[in-house]
Structure 1
Amino acid sequence: MPATTSLQSLHVMVWTALMASLIAVGSFLSIPLGPVPFSMQPLFVMLAGFLLGWPHGMIAALLFVAAGSIGLPVFAGGKSGLAVLFGPTGGYLIGFVLAAGAIGLLTQARKTTRTPGWLLGLLAGLIGLALLYACGVLNLIRVLDIGWHKALTIGFLPFILQDLVKLVMAVATWRIMHGRGLLPR
């Protein structure tokens, strides 16, 4: 294996671990609000997808979920364990993995020297958020035994506007890093 390929692999692994760590940091930047807290995790989940692409963005989110599942206090509010994964917010955790993967897959092909477009980023991010919210709301319905209306009221409506702002921040960061040649791919 050439040294360049080995160094590139190491570079991507370090970035993957960094993004998993940033998702964990995002969980500590949270405000408890009923069964689903406000947090900065979606920003870092989207960034993982944008910056790392497929499959490493998804792997970063999966590393975060695995770390919390085995007992590291990385979930919102310093929680951890399988009880969180199978509890009311577990669907959002699974949604993080799917969102980062989808965003990475949709933006992966954009490796040209041109700066990626806002439209591509916003579209990929909206699809990622749709997956995240679908998993989260469906899990709220299952775990809390509530209807669609109640699940959307507690698990979607209070969060969507702030997550759209986070999407714009993630796309802007992606575009800046791409334009400066700082992407880890």
Structure 2
Amino acid sequence: MMRDPSTSLPAIRSRRLPVVLALPLGVALMTLAAKVQVPFWPVPMTLHTMAVMGFAAFLGPRRAATIFLAYLAAGAAGLPVFSGTPERGIGLAYMVGPTGGYLAGYLVACALVGHLAAGRGALGRFAAMLAGLVPVYALGAAWLTLFVPASEVFATGVAPFVPGDVVKIAILTAVFAALARRTAAR
């Protein structure tokens, strides 16, 4: 099946930043995304999911996973890269806390989304990013059972975040489609 060139990103991907620049820039953007709090219902949201899915769909699985591993390494070393305040813990203490499973899920999502989104049009990238939410929520919820009664995990660790994550994925899809159209017009 032939894909419409206006809905793919090969021309944009071919102009990627060298790894030496992409890695620190990616970690900085991931950190910023984790720190930004957007008022939303039913819970405020960060842009962490948006950054993970965006890197995976735009840069592919290897670069996205490399950026996320570098982000995790910076956090493990005690740099204040994670969302929240230092009172919630920093370094390894934060990583093994209630959100640790979500961090592991993001790493899996980098690979999954990067592979599923490669060469896809807007709808395919949207579906790939939605599929990327599965390991994030599954690993996050599984780990959260160590801190929250199992009967409350879905209500506290998954359901409140689904609306915001779908909105973020829809925004990314629209941005990627606009970039692809702009690139195809050149």
18-27 vs 85-94, which moves further: 18-27
Alignment partner, residue 26 of structure 1: 33
Quick one: percent identity of the two aligned structures? 32
More contact order relative to length (CA 8 Å, sep ≥ 6):
2
Q: Is the 8 A contact 1:55 1:105 kept in 2?
A: no
Q: CA deviation at 1:179?
A: 3.6
CA separation of 1:160 and 1:53: change in aligned 2, threshold 3 A:
same
Q: Is the 8 A contact 1:37 1:76 kept in 2?
A: no
| TM-score normalised by L of structure 1 | 0.79
Instruction: Work out the CA distance in 2 between the residues paired with 1:180 and 1:42.
Output: 25
Unmatched tracts of structure 1, length 5 or more: 1-7, 111-115
2:18 maps to amino acid: H
Match of 2:173 among 171, 174, 182: 171
Which runs of at least 4 in structure 1 moved beyond 6 Å after TM superposition?
Answer: none
Unmatched tracts of structure 2, length 5 or more: 1-14
CA separation of 1:29 and 1:174: change in aligned 2, threshold 3 A:
same
Q: CA deviation at 1:174?
A: 2.3
Instruction: Work out the CA distance in 2 between the residues paired with 1:177 and 1:60.
Output: 22
Q: Is the 8 A contact 2:122 2:176 kept in 1?
A: no
Q: Is the 8 A contact 1:103 1:127 kept in 2?
A: yes
Structure-to-structure mapping, 1:1-150, within 5 angstroms: 11-30=18-37, 38-79=45-86, 80-108=90-118, 110=119, 116-141=120-145, 143-144=146-147, 146-147=149-150, 149-150=151-152
Q: CA deviation at 1:171?
A: 1.7
| TM-score normalised by L of structure 2 | 0.79
Q: Is the 8 A contact 2:57 2:114 kept in 1?
A: yes
SS in 2 for 1:75: coil
- Render the CA deviation track for 1:17-49: whole Å, top value 9, x for unaligned: 3222211101111379xxx97311101111110
Instruction: Work out the CA distance in 1 between the residues paired with 2:29 and 2:148.
Output: 32
Q: CA deviation at 1:9?
A: 8.1
SS in 2 for 1:55: helix
Instruction: Work out the CA distance in 1 between the residues paired with 2:100 and 2:114.
Output: 22
Q: CA deviation at 1:10?
A: 5.8
Instruction: Work out the CA distance in 1 between the residues paired with 2:31 and 2:144.
Output: 22
Q: CA deviation at 1:11?
A: 2.0
Q: CA deviation at 1:128?
A: 0.6
- Render the CA deviation track for 1:83-130: whole Å, top value 9, x for unaligned: 11111001111111111221111123x1xxxxx422211110011111
